[in-house]
Amino acid sequence: MGWKMTVYGYARVSTAGQSLNEQKDTLKNAGADIIMSEKYSGTTTTRPQFEKLVHLVEANDTLIVTKLDRFARNTREALNLIDTLLQEKIIIKVLNLGTIDNTPMGRMIVRTLLSVAEMERDMIIERTQAGKVFAKQHNPNYKEGRPKRTKDSRNQAIFDYSKTHTVKATAEAFNISPRTVQYIKKLFVE
């Protein structure tokens, strides 16, 4: 193994209409030798290019992203990933934030981000609770939780399709999650 350290860049946009070019140019200017990119929405969990990148980076390599949200959907998810990469001695540069490495400054950035993640979570819980209280006071028909699915024509079509296709294929065909397909199948089988 040589001593060559590679600088990787990762670019991501969340909709097909957005362009990756601006991020790629920024990563190139920041010194990225190899740039991997993909279009990925927050509802999709598979990021094949990112997975490939995580397996390519080695100790002493650098991984550059333009912003923290390119890593993951939320701060907690990003921190788990950063922690794993730091343990493997990979240097992370978040261009609008700074270098995250195993130094006092890098560890301070991680601690600050942990605080932000905790605050985000607490604020979501607080807003959710306030919304429920408001709904209970102002909506006589308020019921907590998701509305029950019914045996309507759309769900019937999904169920019929699922009889001759896999759960995954059905989910993709109807633009719903595989879990929803399984729920609908259960609804009609009972």
CA separation (Å) from 180 to 93, 97, 146, 187? 38, 38, 12, 10
Identity of residue 50:
F
Sheet with 7-13: strands ordered across: 34-39, 7-13, 62-65, 91-94, 98-100
Catalytic hit among 14, 19, 37, 162: 14
- Report how far residue 87's alpha carbon sits from residue 77's, in angstroms, rounded to the nearest whole number: 16
- Report how far residue 124's alpha carbon sits from residue 176's, in angstroms, rounded to the nearest whole number: 24
Residues in the chain: 190
DSSP 95: T
The yes-or-no answer on residue 14 being catalytic is yes
Beta bridge partners of 93: 64, 99
CA atoms within 13 A on the CB side of 27: 26
Beta bridge partners of 36: 10
Q: Which residues are catalytic?
A: 14
